[in-house]
Amino acid sequence: MVNEEEKSVIKPVIAILKSETVKKLGTQQENTWCPGCPNFVILDSVKQVVAKFIDEGKYKQEDFAITTDIGCHAKIFDYLNLSGIYCLHGRAIPTAIGMKLGNPNLKVLTFAGDGAAYSEGISHFIHAFKYNPDMTLVLHDNQSFSLTTGQPTPTSQQGFLSKSEPLGVFDKPINPLKLALASNATFIARVNARDIKHMNEIFAKAINHKGFSFVEVIQDCLIFNLDANHKDKMMYKIEDNTDLSLAEKLVGEFDYNSKEGKIPIGVIYQNEKIPSLEEKWPQLKSLMEKGVGWKGKDL
Amino acid sequence: MNINILIGGAAGQGINKVSDIVSNVLSKYGYYTFNYRDYPSLIRGGHNFNVLAISDIPIESHSLKMDFIVALDERTIETHKSELKKGGVLVTSEGFEDEGKNLNVALAGFLIKILGIPLKNLESEINSQFKESEDALISAKKGFDKAEKKFSLKKLNNKISILSGSEAVSIGARNSSLDVYIAYPMTPSTNVMNEMAKNQVENNLMVFQPENEIAGVSMALGSSFAGAKTMVGTSGGGFDLMGESLSMQGISGIPLTVYLASRPGPGTGVPTYTSQSDLDIALRAGHGEFPRIVIAPGNPIEAIEKTSEALLLSEKFRTLSIILSDKHLAESEFSSDEKLKKVERFSVVRDVPGEKIVKAASYEVDGTGNSTEDAVLTEKNADLRVEKYESLKEYIVKNMEMIKIHGNKDSKNLIIGWGSTSGAIKDAIKDLDAKFLQVMYMKPLSPQIKEEMENAEHIILVECNVTGQLGRLLREKTGIKIENRLLKYDGRPFCVDELKEHLKEML
């Protein structure tokens, strides 16, 4: 069933999908996500947002560089015609920060999953907020390691039964948004993978943010950890927020565990007063002023 | 001539200042010096000592037996008095009780007088080191006046400079205009990071300290991918953490240069001492099969040249180059009058993001740069990696100095060694009937090594590790097993006099 509001969203989406730039952002690679996977929507959203930046003349297609982790989400590497590195598991964030050290002018987008970023890569996740490089992290959270056939991740709910933990998950999940805020995050947002219009809006804001922007995408896995799905009814949209004490309250509303309560979506916290990595390091600042990476430093 | 001076005291008493002042005065006076640093893992207290060796001909080693012992504390006397040669002199703080923190400067002055070097040379060194301290000059003079001349060193015309291996690696990297150096602190690799960081803005490079070595090497791959000449530095445990990303380098072909300074393992081992036990991991770390280059310089001049070569080769062949050093090379201070070979300048010419759409992956990829699991492509990519190794090997054999032959070139007695052990071997064979083959490229290996081994009647392997890692490598590559092995693995480097005695017995 498609209601009236959703119909009005679908029309412009189709128009954007037909744009030449969106087409140029695609590849010929066979898509191997499961039919109906929310990753298709995330892919479309990224294409639309990047295409809009290109069409508006803000950036060239070549200015973008992505890093992806390992997992279902990471297959986006093959479906986007953008420069990038398909990294080792857990290493998408530091590799992306490295790209910014090598050329601070690149527009860097990192795609990581809840398994990769919060287990193997948790130290990188925390330190990224401290360094505050001007880049965007899109965190696909389905509360499950899915490409390895459904093991629990740090955000899986208690009691989740899986082949690797048949006794069920004993521990309470971590709250990555709380952790981000405690780590001096300068941009925290949350979106619903089912709402492409809102996702487009928030991704654009994240890319425009001067500093490390973290967008958590809540998405269902249609195969594993089905109990964690269908959280839509708990979600509500919030106004862009720059108030730290309100942010502290908002990040605590969803605990990744209970089926009750509220899940705020939108820009939960933004602070542009904290300098980015590129602004702090004189070497990078100078490359930014020249509009080059180290390769062009003598030009 | 060969004079060895042991300078000992508690950490914080400034024993490095003594060897610093004395070796600077001596090098400007035309003498060669070698300074060995021995210190435990603590910041204040304990017992540290340096051995400063002095000679009128080039030296790269120190001795077990001392001509002088300069003791800043009682413990130095207790620990080292048995190392004093017959007729050797013990210099203590007696008579310098009032010097306070300048005790080290006073004792340096004392030594300068003993060696018979004029006061004005000491004064100019003190003035250049302590620009605003009248006290230092007074203490130095007081030390000088209290001593009696024992030697009369004549001024020599050698143009000598003093460098540690760490300074040398940093110079080599800057000569090749390195852009980004990423390292997490770990002894004995940290001094390269400190050297690079010192004047980074003026030198137009960047030094970044990440949250751990895994992040560091991942960042290095990102930075190199983006077009920056990038290097990481680490030691044993940190290198282990980098292992997965070395493999990532192998499949993605993103140029990467690693500086690996080893110390005795396994585990935390003996962190502030030396060892050549990480050759195996330098050669093998990282899952899967992929090409790499491992280069082990033996002294700072070689370290400058080989660091530049490593960076050039990484970029040219989009491969992994490892510069393998250890605490003895990294932290000892060597003197040299050698001229540097001309550095081959190079630029990053490959396509980079920002200019083109470029893809790199940890998966096998097809022609578009996207991932593939195709059997034909999987096999083809593996073949391409083997071909890459063959072509870099051909280039290195043709263009690079992979080994050095020292000593009597016609001798049938062949000593084989590598890295920081080379200094003691070179000095030990000066009047022995022996030829020393110093291996500098550990991978690929020079084809000349097998010829040398076949032509020798008697081969001795000298290494600072317990299993003879170079020996095993040579056996794998040449089929020749070296039966005579001189292995030292107590965390201390070979002293020239002990090594010479052992070699004499074995020849």
Candidates A99, A283, A284; nearest CB to B222: A99
Pairing of strands A107-113, B458-463: unpaired
Angle at B446 between CA B443 and CA B451, to 5 degrees: 140
Q: B89 - beta bridge partners?
A: B68
pLDDT at B343: 81
- Is B354–A102 a contact, with Cβ atoms under 8 angstroms apart? no
- Is A105–B357 a contact, with Cβ atoms under 8 angstroms apart? no
DSSP state for residue A116 in the 8-state scheme:
I
Which amino acid, residue B406? H
Candidates A67, A78, A105; nearest CB to B354: A105
pLDDT at B25: 97
Q: Decide yes or no: CATH 3.20.110.20 for domain B2-159.
A: no
DSSP state for residue A172 in the 8-state scheme:
P
CA distance B254 to chain A (A): 10
Q: In this complex, how many residue pairs, one in chain A and one in chain B, have their CB atoms less than 8 Å apart?
A: 167
- Is B363–A86 a contact, with Cβ atoms under 8 angstroms apart? yes
Residues A224 and A141: beta-carbon distance below 8 Å: no
- Is A102–B230 a contact, with Cβ atoms under 8 angstroms apart? yes
Non-local (6+) Cβ contacts of A21 within 8 A are A51, A54, A55, A61
Pairing of strands B230-234, B180-183: parallel
Q: Decide yes or no: CATH 3.20.20.140 for domain A4-294.
A: no
CA distance B494 to chain A (A): 40
Residues in chain A, overall count: 299
Q: Is A92 exposed, middle or buried (0-12, 13-18, 19+ CB in 10 A)?
A: buried
Q: Which of B233, B138, B123, B134 is nearest to B186 (CA)?
A: B233
Kindly list the residues from chain B whose CB atom is less than 8 angstroms away from the CB atom of residue A105. Answer: 354
The residue whose two tokens read 């502030």 is B272
Q: What is the dihedral of CA B324, B328, B333, B339, to 10 degrees?
A: -40
CA distance B342 to chain A (A): 21
Interface test with A, best of B179, B245, B362 (most A CBs within 10 A): B362
Count of alpha carbons within 13 Å of B151, Cβ hemisphere only? 19
- Is B226–A85 a contact, with Cβ atoms under 8 angstroms apart? no
- Among chain A residues, CA nearest to B215: A94
DSSP state for residue B45 in the 8-state scheme:
E
Global pTM value: 0.96
pLDDT at A2: 47
Kindly list the residues from chain A whose CB atom is less than 8 angstroms away from the CB atom of residue B224. Answer: 98, 102
The residue whose two tokens read 């809009």 is A52
**CA gyration radius for chain A?**
19
Q: What is the CATH number of domain B404-506?
A: 3.40.50.920
- Is B371–A77 a contact, with Cβ atoms under 8 angstroms apart? yes
pLDDT at A10: 53
pLDDT at A1: 45
Tokens of A131: 């360094």
Candidates B214, B254, B353; nearest CB to A83: B353
- CA separation for the pair B458, B455 (Å, rounded): 9
- Among chain B residues, CA nearest to A86: B361
Same fold across B2-159 and B404-506: no
- CA separation for the pair B166, B90 (Å, rounded): 32
- CA separation for the pair A121, A112 (Å, rounded): 10
Q: Residue B88 phi/psi, 5° resolution?
A: -70, 165
The yes-or-no verdict on residue A6 having pLDDT over 80 is no
pLDDT at B22: 97
- Is B221–A85 a contact, with Cβ atoms under 8 angstroms apart? yes
pLDDT at A16: 58
* Low-confidence spans in chain B with pLDDT less than 50: none
- CA separation for the pair A111, A73 (Å, rounded): 7
Q: What is the pLDDT of residues A213-225, one digit of tens each?
A: 999 999 999 999 9
The neighbour count for residue B151, using CB atoms within 10 Å, is 14
- Sheet of B413-418, strands arranged across: B403-407, B435-439, B413-418, B458-463, B484-487
Domain B163-399 fold is: Rossmann fold (3.40.50)
Could you please report the per-residue DSSP string of B372-430?
---HHHHHHHHHHHHHHHHHHHHHHHHHS--EEEEE-TT-SEEEEEETTHHHHHHHHTT
The yes-or-no verdict on residue A13 having pLDDT over 80 is no
Q: For residue B343, is it left (φ>0), alpha (ψ between -120 and 50) or beta? A: beta
Residues B230 and B201: beta-carbon distance below 8 Å: no
Cα separations in angstroms, A177 against A157, A296, B244: 16, 38, 29
**Looking at B241-344, which runs of residues are DSSP E strands?**
256-262, 293-295, 320-326, 333-336
Cα separations in angstroms, B86 against B66, B74, B91, B150: 9, 20, 15, 15
Domain assignments of chain B as residue spans, ordered by start: 2-159, 163-399, 404-506
The residue whose two tokens read 């904290």 is A274
